[in-house]
Amino acid sequence: MEIGFGSGEHIAAQAAANPDVGFIGCEVFLNGVASLLRYVEEFKLTNLRIFDNDVRHLLPRLKTASFSRISLPFPDPWPKARHAKRRFVSTPMLDEMARLLVDGGEFRVASDHPTYVEWTLLHAPRHPDFLWPVQNPDEWRIRPLDSIASRYEEKALTAGRTPTFLNFSRRPRKP
């Protein structure tokens, strides 16, 4: 699942590279959905479903432990303190991510906004269901090898901002 797929180039590339894996792309903006639909047609993707509404309406309807990876690429940072409550990374959303991920599954967050990176690092590693298995800073400065650069990553680099790639693992559930 990719939450906020933007123009869809990343999730389309993932779906094309992994035809035996099912994908759900979630995006509220019509232009992003239209862009992804062009990729679906161009690459003849049959393993990708699109949810074109607020993902918070979909998450409770999904089966527990049904995803091996959930990605949140370059979410709106809501940089002002009074807007912090609107950020996707929050305890209730981390609870949902943990519920939806299989044991050992990944929750990936990419951002070029220092406030959002700091916010994410204040919340996700403290969540009891997630590990942040990082060994050194280089691990979160390099895009995962199985990913492609998105339009948002390229915009950040062009503007001189450094993208950060945070990968959290779902801890095993207690029996």
| Spans of all domains in the chain | 2-170
Q: Has residue 129 got a pLDDT over 90?
A: yes
| DSSP-based three-state secondary structure for 143 | coil
Strands 2-3 and 48-51: unpaired
The secondary structure of residue 144, as a DSSP letter, is -
Q: Note the pLDDT tens digit of each residue in 40-95.
A: 999 999 999 999 999 999 999 999 999 999 999 998 877 777 767 888 999 999 99
Instruction: Determine which helix (DSSP H) or strand (DSSP E) holds 15, and give its type and residue range.
Output: helix 9-17
Q: Give the pLDDT score at 175.
A: 82
Q: Give the pLDDT score at 77.
A: 72
Q: Give the pLDDT score at 30.
A: 95
Q: Has residue 25 got a pLDDT over 80?
A: yes
Q: Has residue 7 got a pLDDT over 90?
A: yes
**Is 76 assigned a catalytic role?**
yes
For residues 88 and 70, give the distance between their C-alpha atoms in angstroms, rounded to a whole number.
13
Give the mean pLDDT of the chain.
93
- Among 20, 52, 54, 76, the active-site one is 76
Percent of the chain residues topping a pLDDT of 90:
78
Domain 2-170 has CATH 3.40.50.150: yes
The amino acid sitting at 75 is: P
For residues 121 and 111, give the distance between their C-alpha atoms in angstroms, rounded to a whole number.
12
Q: Give the pLDDT score at 53.
A: 95
Q: Give the pLDDT score at 62.
A: 98
